[in-house]
Structure 1
Amino acid sequence: MRRDVQEACRRLGMSEADTVRLATVVGEVGRGLLGARALTGRLVLEEAERPRLIAEFGWSGAVRPAPDALQAAGRLLHTSRWDATPFPRLVLGQPLPVTPRPLAERAADVREELRGLAGVSMGEELRSQNRDLLAALQQARAHQEELQRLNQELEETNQGVMALYAELSSELEATNSGVVALYAELEEKTRELSLLNEAKTRFWANVSHELRSPVNGVIGLTRLLLDPGADPLTAEQAQQVHMIAGASSTMLALVEELLDVAKAESGRLEPELVPVDLRMVLHQLHGTLSGTARPGVPLVVPDVLPDSPAGPLVTDEVMLTRVLRNVLSNSLKFTEHGRVELTVDFTERAGHPWCVLTVTDTGVGIPVEEQARVFEEFYQVRGPHQRARSGTGLGLPYARRLTELLGGRMMLDSAPGAGTTVTVEIPSGTAPRPGDPAGGGPRLERVVLVDDDPVFRTTVRPALAQLAREVTEVGVSAQAIAVIRRERPDAVLLDLTMPPPDGYQLLARMAEDRELDRVPVVVLTANDPSGVDSSRLVHALAVLGKTHLTTARLADVLSPVLPRPRDPGTARP
């Protein structure tokens, strides 16, 4: 393992110092683990912001790495992690130099190199270590001879120079020790800051999730109250319910912004490209934001859009709406006189279509020295203009982050007293092939919904009624298996987070049951679907978030099990 680590490091261009550190620690740890049951070792090239070479040991039994070896690994290596569960595992790693070559090609070169090496014997390993030791001794001897020569030259100088040299050497040694100590302290502070940032991201995600679940329930209940088929409301009641729905939607948008910032920082927020009716998006934004403008400050959006050279705009509609809403609301907030105007233009770059949206205001403007900082999270430009204007300082940073996720860029040009211009440029991608529409199509016979939240069951009930002739609801997860076995449904909708047994456990029981292992299961979660343990959900048909769950989305996921239209008289397959 030590020999392979050395060869891999050199092949990948790692510095000699990092190579020696990783190979030495691997050798020491491996020697301490020899004799452990089922001991394995492997080398992995890990894809990250900066690729890393990972040496991983795994074994079983009560053997543990020596504490001094773990301490040395923590001091010498960039990555050192010891896990006791679910099985003993030790991960050691160093970062690799960044090159334009893809990581897969570099891995293939290293794999081919290691395959060509002969087997390792104790004699060969000892000879390799002896060669390293001889090389170190030769280098030390050369240094010693050089020191002797310098000493001879120094002896030929006067005593004053010798005293000065000794004094300078002493000061230099003390300075080096201080620099080393400072470097170690900086590394420790960097790790602490990284841990704090991760904790902040987890906090945002957890708080946003806990807030989003009840807000979703409020929005769903208001929709049921306002549904044309519901019991009629008085005019005052309808107005109050509309106010509740509007406030709930605003609160949900703020909560989702926090959640999206957390997901974007962790790299788990991905755009969903669909054809977007840009004119309708701008119309809705105009209707929503016009009421927030100051008296006499109009919000101007185009009624007629220029022709796009590549057809309709294809992007993530939700992300684009949030970008424009944040930019427009920011302009309206700080514009007391004049106007706020949004213009749209389409262009081509290197044969690809782009959409350019420009927001111009006549507001207070931003000083040049502050323009870079307005894209920092929670930062707000201080001054008299902040009076009576509340905000979190997340609007522009969040909008820029979403723009970058869409593959575009955001630029800002401003001057105090002359207003601000924000330009958003995004590419128009290729739309995925749309699925079959949900309305008016074939329906399933039976569906079982397993969820302990009565509010969610109430809000999703109308959507399920359009997909299935009979819907059975289970609010106690312990009864789910018995109900599913009795009903023999065409599909099961299963909540992930419930009192035991939770969704993971119920799905595992169904997979082990010969009578139920072929029943399609759609997993529902109020958490971010990309953050669930997918290794435990391999038997699920799909994993959907509860937010914005619609009949069309459910129909698209359940399309493989929906009955197909057939000619009269044709036997059902």
Structure 2
Amino acid sequence: MTLRAESDVFLVRQRAREVAAAVGLEHQDQVRLATALSEIGRYLLVTVPAPHRAEVAFSVPLGHAPTMLVIEVSTGTSAETSGERLGAALAIRRLVDTFDVTRGNSTTTIRLTRRIPAGGEPVTPDQLDLVRDKLDTSVARTPLEEMGEQNEQLLAALEQTRAQRDELARLNEELAETNRGVLALYTQLSEELDETNRGVVALHAELEDRSVQLRAASEAKSRFLANVSHELRAPVTAVIGLTRLLMDPASDPLSAEQREQTELIRGSAADLLALVNDLLDLGKAESGAIEPTWAEIELPALFGQLRGTVRAMATRPEVELVVVDPEPPALIRSDEVLLTQVLRNLLHNGLKFTERGEVRMTAERDGDWWTLRVSDTGIGIPAELHGRIFEEFYQVPGRAPAGTTGTGLGLPYARRLATLLGGDLQLTSTPGVGSTFTVHLPVRGGS
């Protein structure tokens, strides 16, 4: 197509829209391409001097699916057609995919491209001929008709712009409403959080008061146990001494019934004295009155002493006491008296609650720690009661064999002593299999 007059600009615009439709561009892209070419045409009619003319050519690649529509506008002069000036003046770059101006000595070529939507069929020469024939047979519109078409397109674009503006206003209103809701929710949550924080602070203060009260109560309980235990030891010891005098062969003989009653008194007093001693020891441990005397201890010698003193407690022939001496040198820095109390308590506990099998004590070193274990083949302790047996005065219901008694203070006292020596006391037990008490102590305690 050749641009000679203003009417040719309208024809180029019409042909541009028809070519764009023929190759599958959407309506909006058709309008954009037609607008770009009409702007270029008007610009060239003003800037290209006679007798020079501008030629417009449309092309698409052949042999494969079309991907690009190419428009080339060639002029017979290079004057006043720089790409920077043309693109900036007409804002054409926003209407097409690529825009390029090539200047030669006597010609200038303006090249525009627009991508064709994917999925098109391959373009063959025959198909291209059909497009040409269709374009040749189309009736050129008059400038007035083309301007009417352009006005309709502008009105449609304006209506679309208004619709988009209204939609944008609606979305902005929804966003503002959402923001107000978010702000209200944030304010509400902030107030609730502040209220919760005030409640937490108040609860913390209350817990601090309760903690102080509990510490005071615990200290009072410890003082009470220590005082009561100390005051009870003297009369109980006196009762035991009097029963011994009554049963002394050098005293007046007692009848069988009197001897039986005296024996009951002596046994009850002995049990009461054991309870008083346990209370006194526990009170000392809780009040912090026990201070370990640190010294180097040979575990084989300590195990030997325990073997001799505890063996007398094994009154059941079905239960065997096994004390496995660690291989010397087996040294630990600890308090010999307190450590002996812990282990003797565990051995006595195992012998008391084991009716057949064995009670075994072993020791092994792991780096800077000693692990002392006392295991038995008793009836075991249910898992849900493992923590409770270390509570004062608690005894597992139905666990003690017939003829055995206890105060429920031995294990709590043993754990407190183990903690005082820098270690801990743990329990593993399986009902029907047995129990294992494990004492972990540092090799160099007190240092």
Alignment TM class, shorter chain as reference: 0.3 to 0.5
Higher RCO (Cα < 8 Å, 6 or more apart): 2
Using the size of structure 1 for normalisation, the TM-score is 0.37
Structure with greater helix percent: 2
Q: Which has the larger radius of gyration?
A: 2
